[in-house]
Structure 1
Amino acid sequence: MRHLTPALAAALLTLAAGAARAEEGMWTFDNFPIARANATLGTNIDQAFLDKVRLSSVKFGGCSAGLVSGAGLVMTNNHCVATCVANLSTQAVNYAETGFTPRSREEEIKCPGGSAEILTDITDVTERMHAAGAGLEGQAFIRARDAEAGRIEQEACGAATDKRCQVVTLYRGGQFKLYTYKKYSDVRLAFAPEDRAATFGGDLDNFSFPRFAIDAAFIRLYENNAPAATPTHFVWNAAQPVEGTPVFVSGSPGATQRLLTQDQLFTIRDVVLPMDQLLASELRGRLIRFSEESDENAFIAMDPIVGLENTYKRGLGRMRALVDPAFMATRAEGEADFRRRVAADAALTARVGDPWADLAAVQPIQRELYPAYSMLETQAGGGSQLFSWARTLVRGAEERAKPSAERLPEFADSRLAAVQSGLFAERPVYPALDQVRMEWWLSKTREWLTVDDRRVLGLLGPESPEAKSVRLTAGTTLGDPAVRRALWEGGLDAIQASTDPMIVFARAMQYNSRAVRSDWEARVQAPTDRASERLASARFAAYGDAVYPDATGTLRLTYGKIEGSDVPGQRWGPFTTFDGLWARATGAPPFDVAPRLLAAADRIDGDTVLNMAVSSDTIGGSSGSPVVNAAGEMVGANFDSTVLTQRNAYGYDRNVNRSVIVTTGAVTTALRDVYGMDGLVRELGVR
């Protein structure tokens, strides 16, 4: 186990206590520390820089991206378009193997169900949200907050189809902001390399450096069947990067848990992560076995397996942090410092009480309820697309029969457009893959909740997981978007009359799954949110605006420098090159070079920097984030981080935190010298 140096411990202590230094922090754009960033980096950015970066940054599914031309062209990672590529491919025409290289905009193809968004406005709605929950407890508190968020979103966006409004929770309830997005529902694939070019090294190289991957792809935003006009965009800079250069990374990082108490982290360490890791490991094994049964199965399972491997390895890195005594001791000392500051202020103590004790009291309940909540609610269906549609149809019909303010938040009027988009999208369906996922989920639910649990008996009845999963996936007609549309538009009457086996199954499990969710909301979520709101108030009082919120999947800006690393297990310089790729290649998977890339080797300058490391503060969800210099020019896109960086979920470690970037120079080389994408090269302004 790696131990922390005194200097590193001091840096982490600052984080754990609540204030931020150096490159630390996934900052919101309305509270970015301009002066501190300039002082740290020696730059001279201003509000105009922030505005341009924000309006040039794109959220694409669960990934990030950046506008790079005035005609809606956007760069992201290849792994961020993997689902689109898979949906557009067949076994006979597999773009993951060949690359997708359209010769004109007319050949760009729409990503089924794809959408992209640009954050245009941020408004503080904290007072309204706090007032909505005032004096309430349990599920009444949750429902009142959800209803108020729905009202705020509906007031701001109404029936508009070209924008989306979202009330974002920050500081775990300390603040609430209304984020307004410009929405693009027509997103087309403009370029993707061969998958082997983007994933060279496979799982062995994942979460590591040196890396040798062209993990980049392009999509295009369309409006009214024409490329969108996007006059605000990043300028493409394909020059060789220089070590020590300051850079900014703009993207939508997923959830971090840095503001959790020690007691909350112990629950993650002891219950949540072990269960999630065991489940992911077994599902990965089942999908690998499935993929080995035929070439067709290998094609179907390729993308899901990559995603599972990524999830498992990320969880492994996080577990290592939570069982590292030095790391946890540093966090504990930070929490102790925070508590001392609060205790020293009698008025503050009287106002906030003891939120730490309140959160500690929730943990035994959370530990008890998590397995059922996970298996029957958050992981229900095991990732089966057919089941997901069925549950959405059933719940949507039940919820839409109520006033918007009384519904589950995902079915509020302000969010129905997104639900419908997902339901009606035409995308390939693979019942064989869904059967494997359903069988795994049913068997694991029985295992974790036990055979005699009444909810398990309700799920399976007299059938085995194997037989039930086969019957449900073979008999359903939900793979047909016309069937899904008819059921949605038919409302509750159509759902209640349906004999589709997957609909019948989703209907039958609603009582138990809703009960589990209600119990969780009343006994875990509500008291946690209540105490976290008071904890946030105390943190603001103790540390002022030096505090940044946990990441929530919304747009953030972080910064750092191009540099290597020099700690045990992570000693390397900042760059890799194409010459390094050729040297690393063995010809056997996963170190086999993509065919078109290998064929172009003699046309490529071997000294061109392929990937680089940056000391920025990123996490999952930051994939595809544009990396820009102080002039606002794009110099790369984030696509990974190192395994030691996975502790970033719980605390920033400046010595080991490194984001892994594919450079614009490498992407330019691939477009021009490998794939013949001359039109895109010209559009990027490369001469």
Structure 2
Amino acid sequence: MPDAPFVLHGPANPGARRHTLIRRPWAAAFSRKGEGQETSMRNSQITLTAIALTLAVATAARAEEGMWTFDNFPIARANQTLGTNIDQAWLDRVRLSSVKFGGCSAGIVSGEGLVMTNNHCVATCVANLSTQAVNHAETGFAPRSREEELKCPGGTAEILTDISDVTERMHAAGEGLEGQAFTRARDAEAGRIEQETCGGDATMRCQVVSLYRGGQFKLYSYRKYTDVRLAFAPEDRAATFGGDLDNFSFPRFAIDAAFIRLYENGRPVATPTHFRWKADRPVEGTPVFVSGSPGATQRLLTQDQLMTIRDVVLPLDQLIASELRGRLIRYSEEGGRQAFEAMDPISGVENTYKRGRGRMAALVDPAFMAGRAEAEADFRSRVAADAALAARIGDPWGDLAEVQPVARELYPAMALLEGGTGMGTTSPGGGSQLFSWARTLVRAAQEREKPSAERLPEYADSRLAAVQSGLFAERPVHPSLEQLRLEWWLSKTREWLTVDDPRVRGLLGQESPEALSARLVAGTALADPAVRRALWEGGLAAVEASDDPLIRYLLSIQDETRAVRADWEARVEAPTSRASERLAAARFAAYGDSVYPDATGTLRLTYGRIEGSDVPGQRFGAFTTFAGLWDRATGAPPFDVAPKLLAAKDRIDPDTVMNMAVSSDTIGGSSGSPVVTEAGEIVGANFDSTVLSQRNAYGYDVRVNRSVIVTTAAVTAALRDVYGMERLVEELGVE
């Protein structure tokens, strides 16, 4: 290990339980039977990397590839590849210094609960704390004291403290069951495991995680913080310079960084285990590690499953997202209030849409898919060569192929009315906060009448605290925007399921999407947290007695929506899980312990080097500087420099590195991930990836995959020279 590693004086949190990372042998884990901005790219550019990229899908991971779990990280291979000298103790410190913040990642950077993430990861918090008159997105948020740090409504931060193997229990729970009985038995067992470990401890959250698509199950235990306060955010223009045109690209010139602070009992949390801030200029070629919670990859899917995503899932998601983007842009043009309300939603839908375009480009490229097919053929031939293995697992590829026609038929209704398929991004209610609250209140009231093991999994006793926290959070509600979202969802549901679908008739009755959404939003009182709390505490009796139109509406559509979910669970989810478990066992038998699981929104570690790219369509150096920012600026959006940043031009060293490219394996959800050296020094935070990296959902290629990082050098310059945040600079230990 190098000298002067992490700052370390004790456990990350006083009183936190001791972590025990169980490294269960692969053979034992599988012992039970069963188990951005995407431009138009030329075929020549895609072909260059397609075969190498897709061979990673089924074969052993190579070089920097892999979003590895912390209990199965390839220490020796990483050290050999990078020339580093990390060990298990180093991994433990990285894990205890890493934070999951909502759908993003973050890293602890001081002993007093200070955490760095991306500015776009706190955008919702900034919007919730802003008004049209005091818009922190325009001015930046730079509190002069800790007393001025403001709580993010509904914000939750978590640190992973423990991983344990529960594969045998989860597999036993579904033994001999089929269809919905199988999925409900598994869900119930997960709830029992979570409750046994975390119980009523409000400071903990437990989650049973499916890895290798059912091949393993691990219990992840987190230390949870519900008092998360915004400590600093730059002007939005500083974090989003280049706008949509520069999104998913490099060179970049963005200070996409922000700070939050963890509080408990009204005081900052003591965090003696944390990354050490390194404000020096980064060095090209330096080995680095990226620790975060990537959302989802689909590298272990079969070709037949990917065809369903290509032909059904992505087209639906992309088409309706593009219309939502158009509606939001039109809404933003109606006036200053509308522009303020739509700013954060537009950014979110643009990211989703461009990411989908990049993935579609991969799945419609013949060379890319040919490479995937070759990898699958290699996998199947290895299984076929082992007669005992082939007899034991049967034909999971064939079983999954049989599920696909059903999945294609059921997906639109499931996505639009229930969501939660794990395949796409579409969800019920169109993102309406009011609809989400009403749905939670109705579903929770109905489910809480049942024993925990018989409920929908999201309402098991072990998960109610999180549900309640989100429900009671005081968030601003913009009625016109709520109506836009609800109207859009109703209209697109009618369009995709057709006017004559009985479920559509149940949704709309005799009303139009426009009239129904207007009536529901105008009449509901759910924007008031006191009303939501009273309904929650009153239980089913209070909900059924409510005359709130949105509550009445959600009650009226439960039969239709629950039936859609039950059908999906029985005919798609259960047989897919069964076949995927057998496929996971076969994959390990064929390739050994060099296989890593798909990303699942849980903490992972990847690694690479600070380096540029030199392939057709993507040639650039490793760094950009403030001098490059001034040169790129035109004064007109989206290349207009944020006012405070521009005013500080003469105070900033123009050679300071702003952003850098790293050959690490990241994807959505990795935003905010700390980028650290073997010495435990944080040198940046991941905030994006490049055009060619968007296919990373399906495979990795070191030649083209580049994560885009905002450097600690740039963040230090912004804090010190632009926003006057000397107190944070001092807390970070910068001299």
What is the TM-score normalised by the length of structure 2? 0.93
Partner Cα separation in structure 2 for residue 12 and residue 583 of structure 1: 35
Equivalent in the alignment of 2:468 = 420
**Which one of the candidate residues 5, 15, 22 is aligned to 2:63?**
22
- Measured after TM superposition, the shift of residue 654 of structure 1 is 1.5
- Measured after TM superposition, the shift of residue 6 of structure 1 is 9.1
Residues 422 and 500 of structure 1: CA distance in aligned 2, closer, same or farther (over 3 Å): same
- Measured after TM superposition, the shift of residue 164 of structure 1 is 0.6
Partner Cα separation in structure 2 for residue 61 and residue 193 of structure 1: 20
Partner Cα separation in structure 2 for residue 347 and residue 662 of structure 1: 51
Partner Cα separation in structure 1 for residue 628 and residue 734 of structure 2: 25
Equivalent in the alignment of 1:41 = 82
- Measured after TM superposition, the shift of residue 58 of structure 1 is 0.2
Partner Cα separation in structure 1 for residue 216 and residue 651 of structure 2: 54
- Measured after TM superposition, the shift of residue 5 of structure 1 is 9.0
Equivalent in the alignment of 1:215 = 256
Pair 1:304 & 2:304 matched: no
Equivalent in the alignment of 2:458 = 410
Q: Map of 1:447-458 to 2, 5 A cutoff?
A: 447-458=495-506
SS in 1 for 2:463: helix
Equivalent in the alignment of 2:614 = 566
Q: Map of 1:543-554 to 2, 5 A cutoff?
A: 543-554=591-602
What letter is aligned with 1:395? R
Conserved 8 A contact 1:14-1:21: no
**Which one of the candidate residues 497, 509, 517 is aligned to 2:565?**
517
Partner Cα separation in structure 1 for residue 239 and residue 57 of structure 2: 36
- Measured after TM superposition, the shift of residue 19 of structure 1 is 1.1
Partner Cα separation in structure 2 for residue 528 and residue 619 of structure 1: 24
Pair 1:349 & 2:390 matched: yes
Equivalent in the alignment of 2:175 = 134
Partner Cα separation in structure 2 for residue 192 and residue 322 of structure 1: 37
**Which one of the candidate residues 355, 364, 369 is aligned to 2:405?**
364
What letter is aligned with 1:649? A
Equivalent in the alignment of 1:499 = 547
- Measured after TM superposition, the shift of residue 380 of structure 1 is 1.2
Pair 1:446 & 2:487 matched: no
Conserved 8 A contact 1:14-1:20: no
**Which one of the candidate residues 138, 141, 144 is aligned to 1:97?**
138
- Measured after TM superposition, the shift of residue 17 of structure 1 is 2.3
Equivalent in the alignment of 1:264 = 305
Instruction: Report Cα offsets for 1:654-679 as digits up to 9, x if no partner.
Output: 11100000000000000000000000
Equivalent in the alignment of 1:322 = 363
Q: Map of 1:59-78 to 2, 5 A cutoff?
A: 59-78=100-119
Instruction: Report Cα offsets for 1:294-318 as digits up to 9, x if no partner.
Output: 1101000100000000000000000
Equivalent in the alignment of 1:654 = 702
**Which one of the candidate residues 431, 438, 443 is aligned to 1:395?**
443
- Measured after TM superposition, the shift of residue 4 of structure 1 is 7.0
What letter is aligned with 1:647? R
Partner Cα separation in structure 1 for residue 691 and residue 180 of structure 2: 39
- Measured after TM superposition, the shift of residue 2 of structure 1 is 3.4
Q: Structure 2: where are the runs of 5+ without partners?
A: 1-41, 420-426
Q: Give % identity.
A: 81
Partner Cα separation in structure 1 for residue 335 and residue 190 of structure 2: 48
What letter is aligned with 1:676? G
Conserved 8 A contact 2:51-2:370: no
**Which one of the candidate residues 703, 722, 725 is aligned to 1:674?**
722
SS in 1 for 2:418: helix
Partner Cα separation in structure 2 for residue 659 and residue 9 of structure 1: 19
- Measured after TM superposition, the shift of residue 93 of structure 1 is 0.4
Pair 1:178 & 2:219 matched: yes
SS in 1 for 2:57: helix
Equivalent in the alignment of 2:524 = 476
Equivalent in the alignment of 1:609 = 657
What letter is aligned with 1:297? Q
Q: How many residues align?
A: 687
Conserved 8 A contact 1:12-1:651: yes
- Measured after TM superposition, the shift of residue 8 of structure 1 is 4.6
Partner Cα separation in structure 1 for residue 70 and residue 270 of structure 2: 24
CA-based RMSD: 1.0
**Which one of the candidate residues 482, 487, 506 is aligned to 1:434?**
482
**Which one of the candidate residues 204, 216, 231 is aligned to 2:245?**
204
Partner Cα separation in structure 1 for residue 229 and residue 675 of structure 2: 23
SS in 2 for 1:212: coil
Equivalent in the alignment of 2:160 = 119
- Measured after TM superposition, the shift of residue 431 of structure 1 is 1.1
Conserved 8 A contact 2:290-2:606: yes
Partner Cα separation in structure 2 for residue 133 and residue 274 of structure 1: 34
Q: Structure 1: where are the runs of 5+ without partners?
A: none
Equivalent in the alignment of 1:281 = 322
- Measured after TM superposition, the shift of residue 374 of structure 1 is 1.1
- Measured after TM superposition, the shift of residue 9 of structure 1 is 5.4
- Measured after TM superposition, the shift of residue 589 of structure 1 is 0.5
Partner Cα separation in structure 1 for residue 373 and residue 215 of structure 2: 22
Conserved 8 A contact 1:342-1:348: yes
Conserved 8 A contact 1:4-1:326: no
- Measured after TM superposition, the shift of residue 48 of structure 1 is 1.1
Equivalent in the alignment of 1:31 = 72
What letter is aligned with 1:475? G
Equivalent in the alignment of 1:108 = 149
Conserved 8 A contact 1:97-1:195: yes
What is the TM-score normalised by the length of structure 1? 0.99
**Which one of the candidate residues 287, 310, 313 is aligned to 2:354?**
313
SS in 2 for 1:630: coil
- Measured after TM superposition, the shift of residue 568 of structure 1 is 1.1
SS in 2 for 1:16: coil
Partner Cα separation in structure 1 for residue 327 and residue 61 of structure 2: 43
**Which one of the candidate residues 255, 261, 268 is aligned to 2:296?**
255
Partner Cα separation in structure 2 for residue 644 and residue 505 of structure 1: 44
- Measured after TM superposition, the shift of residue 3 of structure 1 is 4.0
